[in-house]
């Protein structure tokens, strides 16, 4: 007798919406062990398929960043280990390549040379003044060139 029943026709005649409206979904969900369900989910496979870019782009990171205590973060950093892994020679090469060392040496040399010439000229002028004073004393001049020319 059961073999003669058309199950597909029977199911097609059922009003599933009316049947489901009578189901207590909260009670049903309370009976489900979500930990057991999630333990069967391969999260790595799920994450690989996700496009996280839209979610990350919508984040406002500034409030998060302003709350970070960099001193606390850096306390755990081993600076010696960081420096040991750093190509300091390479960094120095990049820095030196970015500096026009020839221009710096040239400017410094010209500045030193200019200052030295100025000092020598000033010293020469002072020496000339001393010699002139000495000669004026010897010749009993008072230092006024116009008056002194009239005496000789």
What's the pLDDT band for 152 if we cut at 50, 70, 90? low
Six-digit token string for 20: 């489901």
Mean pLDDT, the chain, rounded, equals 84
Of 71 and 109, more confident: 71
Q: Mean per-residue pLDDT for 1-19?
A: 83
Alpha helix stretches (DSSP H) within the chain: 7-13, 16-21, 25-30, 34-39, 43-48, 53-57, 62-66, 70-75, 79-84, 88-98, 101-138, 145-151
Say yes or no to pLDDT of 24 above 90. yes
Ranges of each domain in the chain = 2-88, 101-151
What's the pLDDT band for 147 if we cut at 50, 70, 90? low
């Amino acid at each position: 007798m059961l073999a003669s029943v058309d199950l597909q026709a029977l199911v097609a005649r059922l009003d599933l919406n009316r049947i489901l409206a009578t189901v207590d979904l909260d009670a049903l969900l309370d009976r489900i062990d979500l930990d057991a369900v999630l333990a069967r989910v391969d999260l790595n496979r799920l994450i690989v398929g996700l496009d996280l870019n839209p979610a990350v782009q919508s984040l406002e990171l500034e409030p998060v960043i302003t709350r970070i205590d960099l001193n606390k973060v850096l306390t755990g950093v081993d600076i010696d280990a960081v420096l040991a892994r750093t190509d300091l020679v390479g960094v120095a090469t990049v820095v030196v390549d970015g500096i026009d060392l020839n221009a710096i040496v040239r400017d410094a040399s010209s500045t030193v040379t200019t200052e030295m010439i100025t000092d020598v000229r000033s010293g020469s002028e002072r020496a000339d003044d001393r010699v002139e004073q000495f000669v004026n004393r010897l010749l009993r001049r008072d230092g006024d060139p116009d008056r002194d020319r009239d005496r000789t």
